[in-house]
Amino acid sequence: MKDVDRTMSKQEVEAGEKAPDWSLPDQDGKTVSLKSFKGKQVVLYFYPKDDTPGCTKEACDFRDNIAPIKKTGAVVFGVSFDGQAAHQKFIAKY
């Protein structure tokens, strides 16, 4: 996401640890915050760029398998530095 400050300090989170709160714009420009999903399981994955072979495969795998994930009550977020237009183009394509 172009609006994301790339100089943010890196925080490593171990499996089972509480994630730090974050707020980022989604593909529609709306702000999404982790705290809005308190009490839910959140799957957060990071990828370098929309519409590249590896990233597309990963995103499409989540898309194709979203039903069982949703049955658990979990939500899935993919995060990259691409902007809103790139995200919308990717969504329309896939």
- Count CA atoms within 13 Å of residue 87 on its CB side: 18
Active site residue 60: no
4, 17, 45, 55: the catalytic one is 55
Q: How far apart are CA 43 and CA 45, in angstroms?
A: 7
What positions carry a catalytic annotation? 55
